[in-house]
Chain A
Amino acid sequence: MSEKKETKNVFEKLFGGMDVEARFGLMRMAVAILIGLGTAIILILIGAKNPLESLKYFFLGPLQIFNPNVAKGIGWNYFDQWIQSAIPLLFTGTAICIMFSANKFNLGLEGAIMMGGLSCGWVCCLLDGDIQAANANPVACAILGLLVSMAAGALITSIPALLEKKWGASIMVTSLMLNYIALYISRYCLFSTNLRDTKTSKYSWQWTENVVLTFRKFMGTRFTLRLGFFIGLAIVVIGWAFLFKTKWGFKIRQLGQNPSFAKYVGVGIVGTGILVQIIGGAIGGLCGATVILGNYNYYYGVELTGYGWDGVTMGIFAGNNPKKVLPAALFIAYIRAGASIMATQPGGPINELTKIVEGVIVLFLLAEKFLAKTHRKMIVEEAKKKQALKAEAAKEVTE
């Protein structure tokens, strides 16, 4: 009995200060994540040859810093893998937060990432000769690549925005089609132009490593420090400040919440709507470039990356607030890293199961009516508690 009371006290200490809505939001998120992880466990039990081993790798894998194979020169470090998979999520999450805050369902992020990676790769290939001849500064080259990729990304997402503005074409449909067009542009450049490396015929020319945004073998062989992660963090912070601390951000959120009101108070709704998507696309392009520069020294985009859809997941997790993108990205990246570590073990199931887990969590996070009864109960309890307090106070006064 006493033990029960004690736990309740701890609970109250932690969450007592919050109002009911915030507490319920937290609870619903916890339940959704638990359901997702439960799904993961079931899937692993179905798919793995030795489930216990696989479960261990899935849940604890990314925390084990050392991968025994790395010493032999095979694979990535596990912790490194975690951070690495968080990088694109930081970018796309922020981009989607900004775009969806204005209630613009532009799904062209996938294409923006594609074009960003492509244009950055092209810049690196073009300037590689100069860098080797010491005519160009490798850092300047990397920065130029990033800038070009931002422009390319912004171009891709601004097309649906302009089409909507000019002719009212459905932004969702046009942006979906542009993703595939971007994919084929990328394939065309990779296979039919002089970007292609004639020796491997699968990737572009390889450029010299010093353009790459990593300091490989930082601290011996333990970590690869990725500059991309810090660029991503910067983007998250800038995105948050932009959305919540500037005039533009306020306009964007106003536009998303109530377009008629926004128009009434003098927000240029057309301009803001387009601006949002250009910013989103620029961040997407940056994401593509960072992934290419951070992990490879060649361009390889022959398939859609899927990062654009990840962005939607991230936006939902973060509730369109870039502040929450970091924990959300770390969480999803943890699951993914765990799954891919598990998948590399002999007899481990395939890492695609994280998609199922993410989808399930997204659905339960969004479901308004999910746990509605508990929500009502919590509100009633809170009200009763307040009433009791009031009655007590009244009693004291009369006494």
Chain B
Amino acid sequence: MGVITEIINTISRVVVLPTFYYMIIMSAAPILLAALACAIALKANAINMGTEGIMTMSALVAVLVSSSVGGQAKGGPWLGLVAAIIVGAFLGFLVSVFAFRLKIDIILVGIAMNLICTGASVFLMYVLTGDRTTTTSLSSGTLPQVAIPLIKDIPIIGEILSGHYILTYVAYILVFVMSFLLFKTKLGLRIRAVGENEDAAESVGISSLHIKTIALIISGALGGLAGVFMSECYLAYFSSGLIAGRGFVGLAACNMGSGNPGIIALCCLAFGIFYGFSNFATLSNLSIYALNALPYAVVLVGVVIYSVYTRNKELKRLQGLESEENLEYSQPAK
């Protein structure tokens, strides 16, 4: 009983804070980017489990490039961003090469990629900075925060919506871009065609290898963006446990939205609420570990609810089919 009142207390204490909503929007952004990365791959019928590794690697590259150029003052973060996107795209390309040209199960490629990337990021960090855990010794800087004109002057809404890092806005804009790309362009149509039925797509002259490779390169680039978000917006440095399963959470969100950007964005915002809570642990008497575990537990429950929903839908459809069949059979008997 005490726990429940404490939970209610915590919620009531946190939901009145505008910074809580600010945190929701911010902490949903990297998951959203990761989920979009998985989504475009999923639409091409490829599960990109390597997103976690790609994020790790590109997060580090962003920091290294940024600091080597000269940090905040010399526009380092922007160069870091570009470098990380290139690295991410290249890693996505590597995944596609191993999965489709050398014919390895793509889930296993993803696992191997995560292994290599986590190893390589720590190795690179140690070789270049002499530190094994973080790059706090480098001054890499962060990407700028954007104050939206007009909106920033509205009392509470301004506090919530304005003043985010630029990549946060990019993440939410990318939802629409991705919808457009997938459902309104030739490339999107081809990606979906290859994802639905590779042989059918091949039969009308689409090279499935080509399309899947493009999808994974875009996926990698998005993973790179997600990585940059973590090391140049969320924090101003890279550390070995920085990504903390966000790539996997993105994969879960993508599965729940079955690759549709709009639904994915909603899922990510829902996860963001619980990531948001874990940032306000000081306001609560609840255990910080319970709050930290919350996002993952919510994803778990979310995945279950989603699969119950799809299963029921499928059952209804089948029942509908059955009754139609019954009609057909019953007619000649009359």
Contacts and interface: CB of A to CB of B under 8 A. Distances in A.
B290 A176 contact: no
A81 to B, nearest CB: 19
A312 interface: yes
A362 B115 contact: yes
A105 interface: yes
A163 B307 CA distance: 10
A262 to B, nearest CB: 20
Nearest to B278: A184
A303 B107 CA distance: 24
B113 interface: yes
A363 B113 CA distance: 9
A360 interface: yes
Interface in B287-316: 287, 289-290, 292-293, 296-297, 299-300, 303-304, 306-308, 310-311
B120 A356 contact: yes
A183 to B, nearest CB: 8
Interface stretch (B8-16, B169-177, B205-213, B248-256): B248-256
Contacts of B101: 369
A278 interface: no
A185 B293 contact: yes
Contact of A176 (B252, B307, B310): B252
Contacts of B299: 173, 177
Given A167-B304, A355-B118, A359-B112, A173 B104 contact: no
Contact of B303 (A174, A188, A354, A359): A174
A367 interface: yes
Contact of B98 (A47, A184, A355, A367): A367
Given A168-B307, A363-B109, A43 B123 contact: yes
Interface in B89-114: 98, 101-105, 107-109, 111-114
Nearest to A160: B300
Interface residues on A, range: 35 or more
A354 B297 CA distance: 32
Contact of B123 (A309, A352, A358, A368): A352
B113 A359 contact: yes
B122 interface: yes
Contacts, number: 138
A188 B290 contact: yes
B132 interface: yes
Given A172-B107, A191-B289, A349 B123 contact: yes
A181 B249 CA distance: 12
A181 B296 contact: yes
B98 A363 contact: yes
B127 interface: yes
Contacts of B262: none
A355 B116 contact: yes
Contacts of A46: 127
B245 interface: yes
A177 B300 contact: yes
Nearest to A360: B116
Nearest to B121: A352
Interface in B208-245: 241, 244-245
A323 interface: no
A349 B122 CA distance: 11
Contacts of A312: 108, 111
B119 interface: yes
B219 to A, nearest CB: 17
B104 A368 contact: yes
Give the dominant DSSP class at A's interface.
helix
Interface in B171-193: none
Contacts of A370: 102
Nearest to B256: A173
A173 B252 contact: yes
Interface string A313-339: 100100000000000000000000000
A24 to B, nearest CB: 15
Contacts of B307: 167-170
Given A177-B299, A187-B289, A309-B115, A163 B304 contact: yes
A47 B104 CA distance: 30
B291 to A, nearest CB: 9
A180 interface: yes
A47 B127 contact: yes
A356 B112 CA distance: 9
B248 A176 contact: yes
B89 to A, nearest CB: 19
Contact of B311 (A168, A172, A173, A188): A168
A192 interface: yes
A358 B115 contact: yes
B297 A350 contact: no
A181 B301 CA distance: 12
B297 A177 contact: yes
A343 B58 CA distance: 25
Contact of A180 (B111, B251, B296, B303): B296
A176 B245 contact: yes
Contact of B300 (A178, A355, A366): A178
Contact of B292 (A173, A184, A359, A369): A184
B98 to A, nearest CB: 6
A31 interface: no
Given A168-B311, A181-B293, A360-B116, 9 more contacts: A169-B306, A172-B107, A173-B251, A187-B292, A192-B287, A353-B123, A354-B119, A355-B116, A366-B104
The 7 residue pairs across chains A and B that have the minimum distance between CB atoms: A355-B119, A359-B116, A184-B293, A188-B289, A367-B102, A368-B103, A359-B115
